[in-house]
């Protein structure tokens, strides 16, 4: 299923056809051109040949059914992951990939071991959301929010990501509110500055994972390009411009960034900012050990005691290779 090919195929048709097709594919979630009966039979037959609607994927369900992970095979044979997280509140969140592999080299990340294979197109990103929309529609449910936190650094594919955001937000297509869309970056300053200028109020998340430059450098090579001071200055500018709360993601890794002094240092770093911290338990991929549950709780309490709003991210899909890139890297091997 390639949305750009479909648009190209409809170029010679009257304008209302595009509207009809958008409704059929993104609202009615039809996966067979023959069922789009508002279109003339001849056009349906042509589209069935030139623009197939299938989305080839292997599907993995966690035992508790809270997580569904898919390995999508793209037209050139490469594979990417996407995850559906079914929250107890009833909200369904899809975590999408933006690159095949990633060149950023974070040392805790399975995707990083692939390097950059290529960037995804917006059609390939929306196919990930469409796959889960179709799946959920069988239970009369829908995708409620999107996080750009899958394989790849989204700001390395900035224009495509923003095109995708507009498609997700389009009332004639997915109609997902900008407030329910979050983009997570490892800290590419130019991307944060550009996002501050966008008219759509999407959320910004920063993968921080360290309370000082030395710790951050151990986990994230980008810390050698930009210091925390530079990152915080740009984030202050973003908050001043948008008045939107920034989410700092902090992956807890035993012995590296989870000591009491790190929690206190982090609280000082973020004090007074319009922000919150989301603590993430590490899904072990071989190199590091995860902080214990008690350790995560202790870190949370210390942050809270020091005036920082904090939550702990529920661990989704540990039994189905929950960490980003684990399935795709296994598959490519």
324: annotated active-site residue: yes
Backbone φ and ψ of 52, nearest 5°: -60, 150
| H-helix or E-strand spanning residue 118 | strand 116-119
Q: How far is the CB of 66 from ligand SF4 (least distance, A)?
A: 22
Q: Which of 51, 106, 109, 324 is catalytic?
A: 324
Token pair, residue 259, equals: 């000591």
Token pair, residue 33, equals: 């051109």
Residue 111 is a binding residue for ligand SF4 (CB under 6 A): yes
Alpha-carbon separation of residue 83 from 15, 218, 254, 263 (angstroms): 35, 27, 26, 30
284: annotated active-site residue: no
| H-helix or E-strand spanning residue 99 | strand 99-101
Count of residues near ligand SF4 by CB under 6 A: 11
Among 47, 70, 100, 109, binds ligand SF4 (CB under 6 A): 109
Q: DSSP of 273-308, one letter per residue?
A: SSEEEEEEE----SSS-BPPHHHHHHHHHHHHHTT-
Strand partners, 207: 249
Residue 153 is a binding residue for ligand SF4 (CB under 6 A): yes
Among 1, 136, 152, 329, binds ligand SF4 (CB under 6 A): 152
Among 1, 55, 74, 186, binds ligand SF4 (CB under 6 A): 186
Is the CB of 105 or the CB of 201 nearer to ligand SF4? 105
Residue 124 is a binding residue for ligand SF4 (CB under 6 A): no
* Candidate segments 63-71, 106-114, 137-145, 270-278, binder of ligand SF4 by CB under 6 A: 106-114
CA-based nearest residue to 208, from 308, 114, 316, 120: 308
Residue 112 is a binding residue for ligand SF4 (CB under 6 A): yes
Tell which positions 299-328 bind ligand SF4, by CB under 6 A.
Answer: none
Q: Which of 81, 124, 153, 321 is catalytic?
A: 81
Q: Are 326 and 82 in contact (CB under 8 A)?
A: no
Residue 106 is a binding residue for ligand SF4 (CB under 6 A): yes
Please give the Cα distance from 251 to 174 (Å, whole number). 31
Is the CB of 112 or the CB of 167 nearer to ligand SF4? 112
Which residues form the interface with ligand SF4 (CB under 6 A)?
102, 104-106, 109, 111-112, 151-153, 186
The residues assigned a catalytic role are 81, 324
């Amino acid at each position: 299923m390639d949305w750009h090919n479909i648009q190209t195929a409809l170029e010679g048709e009257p304008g209302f056809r595009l509207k009809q097709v958008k409704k059929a594919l993104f609202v009615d979630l039809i996966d067979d051109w023959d069922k789009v009966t508002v279109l003339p039979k001849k056009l349906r037959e042509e589209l069935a040949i030139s623009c197939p609607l299938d989305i080839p994927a292997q599907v993995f369900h966690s035992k508790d059914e809270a997580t569904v992970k898919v390995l999508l095979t793209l037209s050139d044979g490469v594979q990417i992951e996407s995850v559906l997280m079914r929250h107890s509140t009833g909200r369904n969140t899809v975590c999408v990939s933006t690159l095949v592999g990633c060149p950023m080299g974070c040392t805790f990340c399975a995707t990083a071991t692939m390097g950059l294979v290529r960037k995804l197109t917006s059609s390939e990103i929306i196919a990930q959301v469409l796959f889960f929309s179709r799946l959920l529609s069988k239970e009369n449910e829908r995708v409620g929010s999107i996080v750009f936190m899958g394989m790849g650094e989204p700001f390395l594919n900035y224009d495509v990501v923003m095109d995708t955001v507009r498609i997700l937000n389009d009332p004639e297509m997915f109609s997902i509110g900008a407030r329910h869309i979050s983009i997570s970056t490892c800290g590419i300053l130019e991307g944060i500055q550009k996002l501050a200028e966008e008219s759509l109020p999407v959320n910004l998340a920063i993968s921080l994972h360290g309370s000082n430059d030395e710790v951050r450098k151990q986990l994230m090579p980008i810390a050698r390009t930009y210091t925390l001071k530079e990152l915080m200055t740009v984030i202050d500018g973003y908050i001043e411009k948008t008045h939107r709360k920034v989410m700092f993601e902090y992956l807890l890794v035993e012995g590296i960034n989870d000591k009491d002094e790190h929690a206190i240092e982090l609280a000082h770093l973020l004090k007074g900012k319009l922000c919150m911290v989301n603590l993430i338990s590490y899904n072990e991929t071989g190199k590091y050990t995860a902080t214990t549950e008690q350790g995560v709780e202790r870190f949370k309490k210390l942050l809270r005691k020091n005036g920082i709003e904090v939550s702990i991210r529920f661990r989704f899909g540990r039994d189905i290779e929950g960490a980003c890139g684990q399935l795709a890297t296994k598959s490519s091997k």
